A and B are shown apart, each in its own frame.
Chain A
Amino acid sequence: MELKSHEPSGPIEERWTEHKAHGKLVAPHNRRKYTILVVGSGLAGGAGAATLGELGYHVKCFCFQDSPRRAHSIAAQGGINAAKNYQNDGDSVYRLFYDTVKGGDFRSRESNVYRLAELSVNIIDQAVAQGVPFAREYGGLLANRSFGGAQVSRTFYARGQTGQQLLLGAYSALERQIDAGTVEMFPRTDILDLIIHDGRARGVVTRNLITGALETHMGDAVVLATGGYGNVFYLSTNAKGSNATATWRAHRRGALFANPCYTQIHPTCIPASGDYQSKLTLMSESLRNDGRVWVPRNPEDATKDPRKIPEKDRYYYLEERYPAFGNLVPRDVASRNAMYVCDDGLGVGNAIDDDGKRRGVYLDFSSAIKRLGRKTIEERYGNLFEMYERITGDDPYETPMIIYPATHYTMGGLWVDYNLMSNIEGLFVAGEANFSDHGANRLGASALMQGLADGYFVLPFTVGNYLGTVRELEPLTEKAVKAKLERDPNYSKAQADEQLARIEKLSDKHIREVNERIEKVMNAPEPTHAPAWFARKLGTMMYKWCGMSRSKEGLEQALVEIPKLREEFWRTVSVPGDTDEMNPTLENALRVADFLELAELMCRDALHRDESCGGHFRVEHQTEDGEAKRDDEHFSYVAAWEYTGDLKAPKLHKEPLTFEYVQPSMRSYK
C-alpha cells in the first residue's frame, strides 16, 4: 500500500485555495440525497455536522453523552490560537505555521499545517459572529495573551473556559440545524463498529445506551471526530468517557493508525491523592509564569512543611538546569524533569507510586506574592487558586501547590491525507482523532484551532469533493433505494427488493459480530474484577513504560505484560447487569477492551521509533543536556500501522516527510 497524502504542490500559501478551486462540488439540490454520518459532537464533529447540515446534506450526528454540548472539548481552558496579528507584534500566518512545524519537532506535514494556520483567522471571525464572548480590551476589541512559549500574543480566550464557549458556539449552530431538520442527533449512543462495503466506509453500528439496542446506520460517508485516546493511561486530564473505541474499531477494519506513540504529558496537573483517584485535573500552564518549581534537596525533607525549608535546601531544578528559560521550558522538558527528580527520590506530596516514591513537586508563588503583592497574583490566577483549593483543601496563597505531570493529549491518531480522508475511501477523521497537524508535540491552544478548522472549513469542502467525485454510490438505505427506484427507469422493483434484502444481511452480519463481543465480555469464565480495575493497571504500565520517557527494555517488557493483562481481562472481567438496559459497566468494559489492544500498538510504535522527538523520548537518544535527539535521516516519516489480524504483527507503512519551507533544526532551551 502506498500512502498518498494528496497534498497539492506549488507555493504553500496557495495550496488550499488552488485545491478548492479544482475540487468537485455537489449541486445544492443534490446534497440532501447524501447521508453523512458524523461521529462526535466536539469542536470537530459539532462544527462539521452543523456546517454539512447547513450546506444541505442529510447528516446524522452521534455522541455518547446525553447532549452534544457535553463533548470533552468543553473542558479546554486556556485558549485558541489565531494569526490575526491584532497585537501588531509581528505575527503572521507564516509564523504560526513555522511555530507549529517546529513545535511538532518536524514530524508533521507542511501543507496541512500551513492550511491550519491560514484558517485560524476565519475561525475567530466565525466564533465572534456566533456570539462567543471572547475576552475584550477596554476599547471593545478582542484581547489576546501569549501561551506556551510563543513569542507573540495570538491566543484568544474566554476567561478560563475557552473550550466551553467555542463548543457552545458550535453546539448552537448544530441545534439550529437540528431545528431546521438537516441534522438528526443521536445522543447517548455508542459507536461500536464501522461498516465497510465494497471498500468504502458506509455505516456504523450503534448501541443505544438507554435501551441497549444495537442498530446500524448507513450513509455515503463517515466522519470520525471522536477525540483522543489519552485515557489509555487511565489517569489523564481527559473526561472519564473519552475513549478510542470508534477509531480502534475502524483500525481493525483496515484504517491505518498513525504515530500512536506520540502523546503529550502536561507538566502542571494536580497529582493523585489516593488509589481511588479517577482522573487528574489540569492547572493552566500560565501558572509557570510566576510560580517557581522546586523540590527539597534532602529526601528527609519530603514531609516537612515546605515553608520551613530554608532557601539553600531547595532545589529549583528548572532554573538551575535551564538558566535561559527557567520555569518556562516547554511542556515535555518540564514534565520529564519533574519525573527525574521524583525518580531520584526527591518528590513530595501524598501520591506514592508502587516503588514507594513520592510523585509531586512544589510550584511556589511566595516570591511572586512578595514581589507583586497578593492582589496582583489574585487577579492573574484567582480562579485557578480557588480550583486548587477546592480539590486539595490547601490554600496556594499560604503554601506551595504540589503538581505532577499527567497525560493530556494524543498527537497520534488515524492516518489521513490532505483531505482528512483515511486510507479507507469515504472515511474521514477530524480533530484529535486524526494524526494530522501536530507532529510529535502539540503547542498550547492549537487543538481547539485544529478541531474547528477541520469541522467548519476543511470537511465541508473535502467531503463534498469526495461525493462529487464518486457521484453515485450503491444505495444502502431504504430511502436511497426508493429514490433510485423513482429516478432510474432501468431499476426494477425486483432489483430494489433484492437490494433491501442485501442491506439487511449486511446490517445483521455487523450487529451479530458486535453482539458476540458484548456477550463475551458479559460472560467471562471467572468474573472477579471491575473493568476499571484493569484500566487502572494498564494505565500504571503505560505511565511506567510508555510515558514521559521510554527505553527499549521497558517497552519490550510492556509488550510482554500488556497481552497478559488482556488475557486476564477476558478471563476475569466482571460485568453485572443486562445488555438490554442502561449498563455503565458494560460501556466501560468495551472501551477498556479496546484500550488493552491500542496500548500494545503504542508500545510497538514507541519501540520501533528508535529516536527521540517531541513527546516521544527514548532514553537511548538524548543530548548531553538530556534533550530529545531526533534522527532525521532514519525517522523523518509518519509511521502508519495496518492491522493484520494479529496484534503482535501489525504492518508498518511509511509516509516520508519532506520540508520545503521550514528546515529541521535542533531545539535548545538552555
Chain B
Amino acid sequence: MAETQTLTLHVWRQKNANDAGRFETYKAEANEHMSFLELLDTVNAKLIEEGKPAIAFDHDCREGICGMCSLVINGYAHGPRERTTACQLHLREIFKLGWKEIWVEPWRANALPMVRDLVVDRSALDRIVQAGGYISIRTGSAPEANQMPVPKDVADRAMDAATCIGCGACVAACPNASASLFTAAKIAHLGLLPQGQAERMTRVRKMVAQMDAEGFGGCTNHGECEKACPKGISIDFIARMNRDFLKAMAAARDDVKTP
C-alpha cells in the first residue's frame, strides 16, 4: 500500500503585483507517489469546489524539461532533491525528510517581478537571449552539416551547457539574484562550437550588458546556483564567461583605438 500523510502547506498568495501578499495555510492529503504539483492540484480542486480562487503556479510539461515550474519549497528552489524540478519532486522525498509543514513561495528577485501567487515574470531571461544568444544563420543558407566536424568532447561539453531549461532557479537561489549561470550557459553552448565563433565576442558583450541592464545582481561565487540547477549545470561556465567578457572588452577597446 502506498504511504499517505496529511501535510500542512503554507502557500504564498498574492492577487497581483500591487497586493501585499501573505501565506495561507491548507491541509492536504499526500500520497508518496504524488508529485509536488499534484499535491497543489488536490488543494486547488478543493478550493475550486468551495468557490475560492485556485493557487496560480506555472507548470506545463511536468517532466522537468520545459522550465515552467518555479517553486521555492521550504527555502529550496525546486525543493530539496538535487537535480530535480518541482514537477519531478515526488512526495516520498518529502516523507523521507519527515517534513510535515511546508512553505511554498515564488522565485523572488527584482528582475523577476511578481505576477500572482507563485507566478513571476521571467521575460528578462528572454531579453538576455535576444541580446545575442544565437548564431546568425539565414534559413536555407546552411552548409552541409557534416562539412565541419566537431570533436565529440567539444560537442558533449556544449551539450552540457545547452541543457539549461531556463527556469530561473539559479536566480532564485543566488543571494545576489544573479543570472550569471543562465547567461554563462548560453554563452558557453554557442561559444564552444565552431559555428558560434564569428559572433563569440559581440555575443558575450551584449548578453552581459543586457543581464546587467535587467537588474540582476553580480556573481560573487556563492555557488548556490549550481546546487539549485535541476540540470546540474557547472559553475565553471561562469568563469569561462568572465574570461570571454574580458577578452571581448579588450578587443572592443582596440577596435576604438585602431580605426
On A, residues with C-beta under 8 Å from B are 47, 50-51, 54, 65-70, 72, 74-75, 84, 86, 122, 124-131, 133-142, 158-159, 161, 164-165, 168, 171-173, 175-176, 178-179, 185, 187, 210, 239-241, 273-274, 276-279, 281, 350, 390-393, 456-457, 460, 527-533, 574-577, 581-585
Contacts of B33 in A (CB 8 A): 273-274, 350, 392-393
Interchain CB contact (< 8 A) of B196 among A131, A176, A576: A131
CA gap between A425 and B41 in the complex, in Å: 42
New A-B contacts (11) at CB < 8 Å, excluding given A47-B139, A69-B126: A66-B68, A84-B145, A125-B142, A131-B162, A133-B158, A159-B159, A350-B33, A391-B90, A532-B45, A574-B49, A585-B48
A133 and B155 in contact (CB under 8 A), knowing A164-B65, A460-B139, A576-B48?
Answer: yes
Contact residues of B between 134 and 188, Cβ < 8 Å to A? 134-140, 142-146, 148-152, 155-156, 158-159, 162-163, 165-166
CA gap between A88 and B88 in the complex, in Å: 40
Question: Which one of B117-125, B215-223, B240-248 contacts A?
Answer: B117-125
Question: Which one of B5-13, B56-64, B72-80, B98-106 contacts A?
Answer: B56-64
Nearest to A527 among chain B residues (CB) is B51
CB-based contact B145/A530 at 8 Å: no
**In the complex, number of A-B residue pairs with CB atoms less than 8 Å apart:** 230
CA gap between A300 and B200 in the complex, in Å: 64
Q: How far is the CB of A246 from chain B (nearest CB, A)?
A: 16
CB-based contact A582/B116 at 8 Å: yes
Contacts of B148 in A (CB 8 A): 128
CB-based contact B150/A140 at 8 Å: yes
A54 and B66 in contact (CB under 8 A), knowing A131-B195, A133-B189, A175-B130?
Answer: no
Contacts of B108 in A (CB 8 A): none
Contacts of B142 in A (CB 8 A): 122, 125-126, 128-130
CB-based contact A239/B61 at 8 Å: yes
- B131 sits at the interface (CB 8 A): yes
Contacts of B189 in A (CB 8 A): 131, 133
Q: How far is the CB of A623 from chain B (nearest CB, A)?
A: 37
- A-B contacts, 22 listed (Cβ < 8 Å): A65-B60, A69-B166, A122-B142, A126-B140, A128-B195, A129-B135, A129-B143, A131-B193, A137-B152, A140-B155, A159-B163, A168-B162, A172-B135, A175-B130, A179-B131, A185-B126, A278-B38, A279-B62, A350-B33, A391-B88, A583-B56, A585-B54
Contacts of A176 in B (CB 8 A): 130, 134, 136
Contacts of B165 in A (CB 8 A): 74, 164
Contacts of B233 in A (CB 8 A): none
CB-based contact B65/A161 at 8 Å: yes
Nearest to B29 among chain A residues (CB) is A276
On B, residues with C-beta under 8 Å from A are 2, 15-16, 31-35, 37-38, 41-42, 44-45, 47-49, 51-54, 56, 58-63, 65-68, 84, 88, 90, 92, 115-116, 119, 121-123, 125-126, 129-131, 133-140, 142-146, 148-152, 155-156, 158-159, 162-163, 165-166, 189-190, 193, 195-196
Q: How far is the CB of A79 from chain B (nearest CB, A)?
A: 14
CA gap between A393 and B51 in the complex, in Å: 35
CB-based contact A574/B48 at 8 Å: yes
CA gap between A512 and B159 in the complex, in Å: 48
Interchain CB contact (< 8 A) of B146 among A135, A142, A164, A527: A142
Contacts of A456 in B (CB 8 A): 139-140
CB-based contact B122/A173 at 8 Å: no
A210 and B115 in contact (CB under 8 A), knowing A54-B139, A276-B31?
Answer: yes
Interchain CB contact (< 8 A) of A276 among B34, B49, B63, B159: B34
Q: How far is the CB of B171 from chain A (nearest CB, A)?
A: 14
CB-based contact A125/B115 at 8 Å: no
CB-based contact A67/B123 at 8 Å: yes
CB-based contact B159/A133 at 8 Å: yes
CB-based contact B47/A141 at 8 Å: no
Contacts of B136 in A (CB 8 A): 176
Nearest to B141 among chain A residues (CB) is A129
Nearest to B40 among chain A residues (CB) is A278
Interchain CB contact (< 8 A) of B145 among A47, A51, A124, A187: A124
CA gap between A135 and B153 in the complex, in Å: 10
CB-based contact B68/A530 at 8 Å: no
Contacts of A584 in B (CB 8 A): 54, 56
CA gap between A142 and B62 in the complex, in Å: 30
Contacts of B139 in A (CB 8 A): 47, 50-51, 54, 126, 173, 456-457, 460
Contacts of A126 in B (CB 8 A): 137, 139-140, 142
Contacts of B2 in A (CB 8 A): 273-274, 350
Q: How far is the CB of B189 from chain A (nearest CB, A)?
A: 7
Contacts of A127 in B (CB 8 A): 145
Contacts of B140 in A (CB 8 A): 122, 126, 456-457
CA gap between A129 and B158 in the complex, in Å: 14
CB-based contact B122/A133 at 8 Å: no
Q: How far is the CB of A625 from chain B (nearest CB, A)?
A: 36
CB-based contact A70/B150 at 8 Å: no
A393 and B90 in contact (CB under 8 A), knowing A50-B139, A278-B37, A456-B140?
Answer: yes
Q: How far is the CB of A45 from chain B (nearest CB, A)?
A: 14
CA gap between A139 and B152 in the complex, in Å: 7
Contacts of B163 in A (CB 8 A): 159, 161, 164
Interchain CB contact (< 8 A) of B84 among A47, A390, A583: A390
CB-based contact B133/A175 at 8 Å: yes
Nearest to A582 among chain B residues (CB) is B116
CA gap between A67 and B84 in the complex, in Å: 21
Q: How far is the CB of A72 from chain B (nearest CB, A)?
A: 7
Closest CB pairs A-B (n = 6): A140-B149, A172-B134, A129-B142, A577-B53, A273-B33, A530-B48
Contacts of B122 in A (CB 8 A): 66-67
Nearest to B160 among chain A residues (CB) is A133
CA gap between A241 and B57 in the complex, in Å: 13
Q: How far is the CB of B248 from chain A (nearest CB, A)?
A: 18
Contacts of A210 in B (CB 8 A): 115-116
CB-based contact A576/B65 at 8 Å: no
Contacts of B143 in A (CB 8 A): 125, 129
Contacts of B45 in A (CB 8 A): 530, 532-533
Contacts of A390 in B (CB 8 A): 84, 88, 90
Contacts of B190 in A (CB 8 A): 131
Contacts of A136 in B (CB 8 A): 149-152, 155
A133 and B88 in contact (CB under 8 A), knowing A175-B133, A239-B62?
Answer: no
CA gap between A101 and B54 in the complex, in Å: 46
Nearest to B161 among chain A residues (CB) is A133
CA gap between A68 and B127 in the complex, in Å: 12
CA gap between A471 and B146 in the complex, in Å: 41
CB-based contact A138/B49 at 8 Å: no
